[in-house]
Amino acid sequence: MRYAAITDRLAGLGSDKWAVHWRAKSLCADGVPVIMLTIGEPDVPTPAELIEAATRAMLAGRTGYSSGRGEEPVLAALAAKYSARTGRTVGVDQLMYFPGTQTALYAVMQGLAETGTEVLVGDPLYATYDGVIRASGARRVSVPLRREHGFHMLADDVEAMVSERSRVILINTPHNPTGAVLTRDEIGAIGEVAEAHDLWIVSDEVYESIIFDGEFASPFDDARLAQRTVVVSSLSKSHAVTGFRAGWCVGPAEFTHKLLPLSEAMLFGAQPFIADMAAIALSRTFPVTGQMREAYRRRAETLVRRLGNTTGLKVMMPQGGMFAMVDITRLGIGGEAFAAGLLEQEQVAVMPGEAFGTEGAGLVRVSLTVPDDDIEIACDRIIAFVERLTAGAA
């Protein structure tokens, strides 16, 4: 039988990258007490007020079809958020509501990139970026995020990778998997590259509220760059509502006007009762956001303190997000082998850095989304595993 070319472009880019995670889930199902440090699933419950808001909306009959752009209450709440953040008037015609950041990013990339074009993205990169870019037909061009620069994307490195086929610069701040937070000056310099070559900037800002060190900055907040910037984000990480799938994009009104038919062809709107919940979540501050931020900071500091003196390991303190990267290069073992061995021998599941790109080699990503006690136990087990590795190499 014949298949569309997109199936070949995406071959091997789905759940294959999460092999360690799925193996760990299988062990858990068999009763093995694995400490899951693989994915960014908040370990706190969804705020009761948000569950109640969604329930009220369902009981009120908000279960029918939705607008392709989004429901009026959530669009108004988003317009208020970005107007306050940027200091400019951001209208609802600049917004589109989607079921999650992933859907928003897919739609945005389909609207900007195509076969014969290139998307510049930092490496290491979030694991699904490859698929989103390739689905459009575009080619991913890696911009190295160097360890000696704290994994920050630098304008000179972006400039070096630009070609006549370049169309989009995809940035992510705070960054998954490294936790790097771009400064206003760094974003401004990247923006100058975008201006010089007439490129779009797509900014994934899902971790906007989870910053430990520094201040959040966005190219969309710079009036000079706003007309070439599209932001994608969601409530998943900020409000612990990952399963609700509540996301959006914001950008120039001309862009969202052009994207609307694509969105309508994809799904023609999201669930109104979840959109109503999202409007409430956006309308005020919820304590869970600050609680998660402080918990992740505390757990990252624990990893640095506990593992920093372990032979061969270097934990890089993240500036934000819900992950920490551990450099294992001095052990003489790759991230995939390290992760597989740690899971089988010590029942601790971490993600190999190779799942996040070429620059992830020699690294593993550790999720900070388990209770503090589990982080401590995981450190004990990691130390025991490393001691056996180093003893065997002696």
Q: What percent of the chain has pLDDT over 90?
A: 84
pLDDT at residue 5, as a whole number? 87
- Mean pLDDT across the chain, nearest whole number? 93
Q: What is the DSSP letter of 46?
A: P
Structure confidence by residue, pLDDT tens digits, 259-305: 999 999 988 889 999 999 999 999 988 999 999 999 999 999 999 99
DSSP per residue, 266-326: HTS---HHHHHHHHHHHHS--HHHHHHHHHHHHHHHHHHHHHTTSTT-EEE--SBSSEEEE
pLDDT at 204 over 80: yes
> What domains appear along the chain, each with residue ranges and CATH number?
5-44+287-393 (3.90.1150.10), 48-283 (3.40.640.10)
| C-alpha distance from residue 282 to each of 12, 181, 216, 234, 235 (Å) | 36, 23, 18, 10, 8
pLDDT surpasses 70 at 106: yes
> What pLDDT sits at residue 17?
74
Phi, psi of 288 (to 5 degrees): -60, -30
CA 236/CA 200 separation, integer angstroms: 25
Strand ordering across the sheet containing 229-234: 95-98, 247-250, 229-234, 200-204, 166-172, 118-123, 139-144
Contact between residue 208 and residue 221 where contact means Cβ atoms under 8 Å apart:
no
pLDDT-based confidence at 214, cuts 50/70/90? Answer: confident
Residue % of the chain over a pLDDT of 70: 98
Largest Cα–Cα distance in the chain? Answer: 68
Residue 270 has φ and ψ, to the nearest 5°, of: -115, 175
The residues facing 248 across adjacent strands are: 97, 233
Q: How far apart (Å, rounded) are the C-alpha atoms in residues 159 and 295?
A: 37
Question: Of 118, 113, 180, 122, which Cα lies nearest the Cα of 155?
Answer: 122
Where do we find the tokens 């930092």? Answer: 122
* Run of H or E residues at 27: helix 19-29
Going from the C-alpha of 215 to that of each of 375, 383, 394, the distances in angstroms are: 27, 33, 45
Give the whole-angstrom CA distance, residue 374 versus residue 382: 12
Q: Which residues of 325-357 are buried (b: 16+ CB within 10 A; e: fewer)?
A: bbbbbebebbbbebbbebbeebbbbbbbbbbbb
Strand-pair category, 247-250 with 229-234: antiparallel
Q: What is the pLDDT, as a whole number, of residue 390?
A: 84
Residue 5 has φ and ψ, to the nearest 5°, of -60, -25
**What confidence tens digit (pLDDT) does each residue in 126-185 have?**
989 999 999 999 999 999 999 999 999 999 999 999 999 999 999 999 999 999 999 999
Residue 24 has pLDDT above 60, yes or no: yes
Residue 88 in tokens: 């400019």
